[in-house]
Amino acid sequence: MPGARKIIIDTDPGQDDAVAILAAFASPELDVLAITAVAGNVGLHHTERNARAICELAGRRDMRVFAGCDRPTRRPLMEARHVHGETGLDGPDLPPPTMPLQPEHAVDVIIEILRTEPSGSVTLAALGPLTNIATALGRAPDIASRIAEIVFMGGAYFELGNVTPVAEFNIYVDPDAAADVFACGAKITSMPLDVTHRALATPERVSAFQAAGNPAGAAISQLTAFRDRQDPERYGGIGVPLHDPCVIAYLLEPDLFAGRFVNLEVETGSELTRGMTVADWWRRTDRQPNATFMREIDAEGYFRLLAERIARL
Ligand code: RIB
Ligand code: CA
């Protein structure tokens, strides 16, 4: 599609990552230049394989998938197999992928794409720990000014944490990488738990994916069943948050979200509050605003968009 927005999807699939990637493939407004896998929900050998399996599910054997960092920048990896399953894609029985994993390291590819595409033309859609992106920025600081926008799922402020009392998983796994990304100077937009916890995949919304009548819809209805992860007290209703597709939905329909341009920092020193993101929502400090922190979501519109796009696959 002429004028499609060029994006790199950096991801740790991951059930919700899978839905996000499928929605991106279904959207001609987006030109997915590459998928770069990172360790997070499960180890890198699973996340890169899952990324290829998701590409094949969408009929995108042409997509270039790269493996990136297999551990956080400065800490050991903490996975979320209890959430996403041993392979990271519990639910559908996807066949092992046969499309190739590209040989280049994902970090090198992120740098190369940002240096060769016109400056300001490529957006980074980050769905997992920010390890690959921070490593690329550290190795090639010149790319920061060439990034159109970094839109990431991660963080929490008013909502508190999902992996500790105060930290969201993607940031908790690699808080040092998050700190480096938040300080890089690029345009940054965060999709924190403050919005994703209001994007609940209810049984009705899950059945809308099934109604697509295609393999992607069937797989997504299995990926989002999450029956064992209901927590009405936590989420204020039936259903389980569908985090990562918020990044893609924002790229497609930004008006589904609302937030504020604030200073966003992350705790990296304290083990008690490691990975806590601190949004200076009321500008209590003189720290310069560096990120748009989203706090509102039109959940009905979000799931309408996702269901409509998935039906196109
Ligand atoms: O906290 C939710 C995030 O952590 C999502 O990106 C999910 O896929 C996991 O990576
Ligand atoms: Ca993810």
- Overall pTM > 0.85: yes
CA quadruple 253, 17, 313, 36: dihedral, nearest 10: 100
pLDDT tens column, 84-100: 777 888 878 899 999 99
pLDDT tens column, 189-206: 999 999 999 999 999 999
127 touches ligand 1 (CB under 6 Å): yes
Q: Whose CA is nearest to atom 10 of ligand 1?
A: 128
What is the structure's pLDDT at 284? Answer: 98
Q: Whose CA is nearest to atom 1 of ligand 1?
A: 169
- Displacement of CA 274 from its chain's centroid (Å): 20
What is the structure's pLDDT at 86? Answer: 77
What is the structure's pLDDT at 231? Answer: 80
Q: Report whether pLDDT(74) > 90.
A: yes
- Which ligand gives the minimal distance to the CA of 162? 1
Pairing of strands 65-67, 30-37: parallel
Q: Report whether pLDDT(306) > 80.
A: yes
What is the structure's pLDDT at 1? Answer: 65
Report CA(212)–ligand 1 centroid distance (Å): 25
176 touches ligand 1 (CB under 6 Å): no
What sign does the CA torsion over 289, 267, 12, 226 have?
Answer: negative
Asked if 32 contacts 25 with a C-beta cutoff of 8 angstroms, the reply is yes
Q: Report whether pLDDT(101) > 90.
A: yes
What is the structure's pLDDT at 226? Answer: 64
pLDDT tens column, 237-257: 888 899 999 999 999 999 999
Confidence of residue 223 (pLDDT cuts 50, 70, 90): confident
The Cα 106–Cα 46 span in angstroms is 15
**Ligand 1 pocket mutation pick from 9, 11, 16, 276 by most atoms within 8 angstroms of CB:** 16
Confidence of residue 233 (pLDDT cuts 50, 70, 90): confident
Q: Report whether pLDDT(224) > 90.
A: no
Burial class (CB in 10 A: 0-12, 13-18, 19+), 65: buried
- Ligand 1 nearest-atom number relative to CA 80: 9
The Cα 133–Cα 153 span in angstroms is 13
Q: Is 84 a catalytic residue?
A: no
| Residues in contact with 256: Cβ distance below 8 Å, sequence separation at least 6, in sequence order | 249, 250, 297, 298, 301, 302, 305
Asked if 161 contacts 277 with a C-beta cutoff of 8 angstroms, the reply is no
- Mean pLDDT for the chain overall: 95
